[in-house]
Amino acid sequence: MASAHTATVDKYLEAIYCIAAEGEVVRPGRLAYWLSVSPPTVSDALQRLRRDGWVELGEDRSVSLTPSGESTATALVRRHRILERWLTDVLGLDWASADVEADRLSSSISEEVIDRIDHSMGSPATCPHGNVIPGRAAPYGALVALAGLEPGTAAVVRRISEVAEHEAPTLLTTLAGHAISEGTPVTLVGPGEDGSLTVRVGSRRLELARAAAASIWVEVA
């Protein structure tokens, strides 16, 4: 049985959940980078999380959630994504600001209020960045990274990687500045000389670093 969780436990559980959801194997070094703490700090924290029943540590140094850890992390991510959707759709905040404010609000709002906010919006399937709210079905089909498209391919933006959302908030600001959001039609024009990718959005063109384009998931039109 896992012990009572704290704000620090919450941060670790949510980070592990989000990294694993992107198909990555979660390791201490990855968590140190995500949480902006030192490797020894992560090692000590993981030992405590294992002792208290939140995580399991593999012989290959991989980190996975126990059933209790998974349940708690799922609830945390659900709260965060519902708040993000409310902050953008109802209050009109931009993507990046909504992410920051959702972090601040999440721990201070009751589950009843979260449920009422969710119900008032019609129980949306995703957060503003297209990441599915736990317990709901994705409202799109198979996705491919924008960086993986063939030049000239038309597609629709469906999801921004949770990892990019956390580690590259400037990407969210850049996309918002070019009116790119969930549901925006885009066409990959081709690679640039510097390794970047040129994307056409309506009549405009946008240069994206390949790593950024790899974090944008689209549905081929």
Report the CATH number at residue 60.
1.10.10.10
As a whole number of angstroms, the distance between CA 70 and CA 80 comes to 15
Q: What is the pLDDT along the chain (221 residues), one digit of tens a residue?
A: 455 568 899 999 999 999 999 889 999 999 998 898 999 999 999 999 999 999 999 999 999 999 999 999 999 999 999 999 999 999 999 877 888 899 899 888 999 999 999 999 999 999 998 999 999 999 999 999 999 999 999 999 999 888 776 666 677 777 877 778 889 999 999 887 777 899 999 888 988 888 888 889 999 97
> Which one of 65, 80, 115 terminates a domain?
65
In a domain, 92, yes or no: no
- pLDDT for 4 equals 58
Per the structure, the count of domains in the chain is 2
Say which amino acid occupies 130: G
Q: Is 188 strand, coil or helix?
A: strand
- pLDDT for 1 equals 45
User: CB neighbours (10 Å) of residue 56?
Assistant: 13
In a domain, 179, yes or no: yes
In a domain, 43, yes or no: yes
Q: How far apart are the first and last CA of the chain?
A: 47
In a domain, 198, yes or no: yes
- pLDDT for 166 equals 67
List, in sequence order, the alpha helices (H) in the chain. 7-21, 28-35, 39-51, 67-89, 95-106, 111-120, 162-167, 169-177, 210-213
CATH of the domain at 203: 2.30.30.90
Number of residues written out for the chain? 221
In a domain, 78, yes or no: no
As a whole number of angstroms, the distance between CA 166 and CA 107 comes to 18
Contacts of 137 (CB under 8 A, 6+ apart): 125
- pLDDT for 170 equals 74
List the domain range (segments joined by +) for residue 157.
144-220
Tokens representing residue 210 in the block: 């390949």
Q: Is 14 strand, coil or helix?
A: helix
> Which one of 17, 48, 65 terminates a domain?
65
Mean residue pLDDT of the chain comes to 90
Q: Alpha carbon of 199 to those of 116, 175, 183: distances in Å? A: 39, 11, 15
In a domain, 124, yes or no: no
In a domain, 215, yes or no: yes
Q: Which of 76, 77, 39 is nearest to 61 (CA)?
A: 39
Q: Which of 141, 145, 156 is nearest to 23 (CA)?
A: 145
> Which one of 49, 65, 81 terminates a domain?
65
In a domain, 29, yes or no: yes
Q: Which of 195, 202, 200, 208 is nearest to 152 (CA)?
A: 200
pLDDT tens digits, one per residue of 70-119: 999 999 999 999 999 999 999 999 877 888 899 899 888 999 999 999 99
Contacts of 168 (CB under 8 A, 6+ apart): 212, 215
pTM metric for this prediction: 0.86
